[in-house]
Chains A and B, each alone.
Chain A
């Protein structure tokens, strides 16, 4: 059974940093593309970024509005995906979902999400 479990969310002040983790199981992590998608309270879904698979050299892509502040990485030895978020803004407040995605781009499996609150 495919499982994705996010962690690392919490309250952080504006300008601060936070690293989210996504622990996966039930599939060969290195074979798959992984995405982060977020959802602000009461709002819609927003794609954050992607980590491609080993065959694509784990290359990454980001939403243009987030490029430069957010960084995605992965550790295949730990079956884990990470999202490093720097210079956080109040508008980054959201539930952050980790997803396992098809290479073409849609998200097949989703974690339950972790809430990040940016507030002073």
Chain B
């Protein structure tokens, strides 16, 4: 069964600290993996997309990693800011016969405190 599991469910850190969010998946055949940021009361916004051959991709203070062998991804946030408070959603796509199917995780809710 195609599944995406994220951990932790929620996280509280102090401003300026680093943190790492995890995403484990059992999606096959794997096509790509995206991390989205969803601010409270807003829709998700894409942060990064990673394909099978990519191990690391950065977007400012956000760095995503992908290990396609262990089917794990992480999102590392460096020097956190108050504006990083949001839910972070991992989405994995499978491609079968030219059709994409998107499997969403439940998200990690991050709170950054001053």
- A and B from one assembly? no
Q: Using a CB–CB distance below 8 Å, which chain A residues touch chain B?
A: none
Q: Using a CB–CB distance below 8 Å, which chain B residues touch chain A?
A: none
